[in-house]
Structure 1
Amino acid sequence: MRWENLYLAGLGAYLPQREETAEEAVAAGRYSPEAQSANGIRAVRVSDPAVESPAWMAAAAGRAAVERSGHGPADFGLVVHAGSGHQGQDLWTPASFVQHETVGGAAPTAEVRQGSVGGLVALELAASWLASRPEPAALVTAGDSFHLPYVDRWILDDQQVFGDGAGAVVLSRRAGFARLLSTASVADSALEAVYRGPSWTAAPFADGLRVSLADRRRAHFGGDEERLRAAMARMADRLCGVVDRALEDAGGLKRADVDWVVHANVGLPVARWGLWEPLGVDPERTVHDWGCGLGHMGAADQFVNLDHLVRTAPLSVGDRVLVIGVGTGVVWSAALLELLDVPA
């Protein structure tokens, strides 16, 4: 979808102060030396669950984004929050908490649950909302945390480690430091069962066993390497397709026209074979190395990493930034940005 007169007006991120290193996890027997060497994840941030719930962190990131945006609370016509795991309370609406803690007001709120691509899906929904309504701004947040005994962040899934954090974007119809040129999303529900597991449960943590996405995936493929390779090829094809569609909608651009790529914080094999190789991405034009010190923050990676890119990279006016993600379901999303200014 090509967008007209939609801008990123503010970014925000919240990262807990506490750090847990891969070396500490190996020494504690929670992570293997082989996985540490192969994946290259150095450390993760660990939140205090009594204070820093995902929704709380998202609200902190949201306040920073709103302050940077130049928009007042009355400008916001929508607040969308994305998360992939427990948000701090059961049977609760975290998007309403984020709204109360950031812009207040009576605008509608919504929550997106689409795994690691939730933030980008929420961004695209907010763009659609603003394009069809008179309100000038929308706030999009994403946050996640991963705690024992429900999950063990070091072995929840293969080839990535899960960290805690949150990010936020203010989308504006007025002005901003970057123009939202286009977005694209595509799903392949035939792959939904990969992470579902073999049976239903009555409630979260009902059986008292921690969640293992790796075990679910292994059970799904049952050691059938040919079936696994076919699924991986299918996923790479979907990724390339959604990126090319976003580029085409932005005015017939090509992959070579992209200056920077922002993606999730994943282990080196996933980054190399699942992202860089299929798309022809130069790792030096990403923030992958920085992300190896944070881990995969569920739905929040893209917003947190985009905030880091804008604050630290040698950007220039006119640079194009491709933001990509994939989430369980399976859903792929891409957003293409063009820098109009380099914020101080």
Structure 2
Amino acid sequence: MTRRSVIAGTGSALPARRVSNAELAETVDTSDDWIVERTGIRFRHIAGPEETTGTLAADASKAALASAGIAAEDIDLIVLATATPDQTFPATATRVQTALGIDDCTAFDVAAVCSGFLYALQVADSMIVAGAANRALVIGAETFSRILDWEDRTTCVLFGDGAGAVVLEAREGEAGVLATRLHADGRHNQLLYVDGGPSTTGTVGKLRMKGREVFRHAVVNLAAVMGEALEAAGLSADDVDWVVPHQANARILDATARKLDLANEKVIVTVDQHANTSAASVPLALDTAVRDGRIKRGDLLVLEAMGGGFTWGASIVRF
């Protein structure tokens, strides 16, 4: 039998403060109609002073562990995807490890922005298949509100904070991660980036984006990589039960589905409720659809994302 990484449980966490478009319009030159028409976003969650990427990641991990029925001490690997770590170092994954009461395991962060969860999933899957780990927490967690320019209405309305996590467990059988394909092209750095960093400005910096160019690249790259991953798994779009995409923009989700000739009803959409949460958005959407009963055991899932860098990728998972 084939050793695979099976998603044994899912979890998510959102900050307590929920901000509507109308509330945002009180301080930003925008409106609910403007935001909804261009992005599909209606709400986002903003982290409070006591909420960090690490605390949200720990809460999402606890929920995933409970869903899987697995004790924290049985985890031997934590891979956390984030572009907004609690500290420059050590890795926020080690803060999650401590919060969960795990004395010793492999724990590190992955930085691939919105594609980070897919990158983290591939790393954890590879380690499990190779026998280097048996049970892993794969987490996407962000506090993007800390790096937004709240005077730039073209970007600050798009993002929110949150975390999502899955427990991966080594099992033999047909379920699990079937194929993953990842890409990066650093030539497009100036289209979506943060204008700061420890080695350049010595500051955190703020997010900058050229939205139209990002949209164009996203639709082309995501459709291509999903087809590539399906081919690698020996499957086609007709086999797919659900697409769980990065929740960046409802228009990108619609355009990508059309390129693959996928029915919109097969696409999990949660961007209206929590906006773009970068590396957290895929596991957040996955957890939402698992808990509301749409995604069931045996379903074939396509997880996909694209982010700054550019980085992009897709994973085929038999849930």
* 1:172-203 residue CA offsets vs partner (Å, 9 max, x unmatched): 10379952222111222332332247898422
Between Structure 1 and Structure 2, whose CA radius of gyration is higher?
A: 1
Secondary structure class of the residue paired with 2:76: strand
2:117 partner letter: G
State the distance in 2 between where 1:303 and 1:153 align.
Answer: 26
Contact 1:7 1:180 (C-alpha < 8 Å) held by counterparts: yes
Structure (1 or 2) with the greater strand fraction: 2
State the distance in 2 between where 1:191 and 1:126 align.
Answer: 27
State the distance in 2 between where 1:156 and 1:113 align.
Answer: 26
Secondary structure class of the residue paired with 1:262: strand
The counterpart of 1:122, out of the listed 117, 120, 123, is: 120
Cα 1:196–1:65 shift into 2, 3 Å:
closer
| 1:238 is aligned to 2:235 | no
> 1:177-216 alignment to 2 at 5 Å?
179-196=176-193, 201-205=200-204, 211-214=206-209
| 1:309 is aligned to 2:304 | no
Cα 1:240–1:25 shift into 2, 3 Å:
same
Gaps of 5+ in 2: none
Structure 1 residue ranges (4+ consecutive) displaced by more than 6 angstroms after TM superposition: 197-200
Shift of 1:24: 1.3
1:60 aligns with 59
2:76 aligns with 77
Secondary structure class of the residue paired with 2:164: strand
Contact 2:241 2:301 (C-alpha < 8 Å) held by counterparts: yes
| 1:287 is aligned to 2:268 | yes
1:61 partner letter: A
> 1:245-324 alignment to 2 at 5 Å?
245-250=228-233, 252-273=234-255, 275-288=256-269, 290-324=270-304
Cα 1:144–1:314 shift into 2, 3 Å:
closer
1:35 aligns with 35
Gaps of 5+ in 1: 219-224, 340-344
| 1:104 is aligned to 2:87 | no
State the distance in 1 between where 2:235 and 2:36 align.
Answer: 38
* 1:202-230 residue CA offsets vs partner (Å, 9 max, x unmatched): 22246xxxx2423xx38xxxxxx9xx5xx
Shift of 1:329: 1.4
Contact 2:145 2:161 (C-alpha < 8 Å) held by counterparts: no
State the distance in 2 between where 1:99 and 1:197 align.
Answer: 28
Secondary structure class of the residue paired with 1:125: helix
Could you tell me the percent identity over the aligned residues?
27
Contact 2:244 2:303 (C-alpha < 8 Å) held by counterparts: yes
The counterpart of 1:145, out of the listed 143, 150, 153, is: 143
| 1:336 is aligned to 2:319 | no
State the distance in 1 between where 2:123 and 2:294 align.
Answer: 30
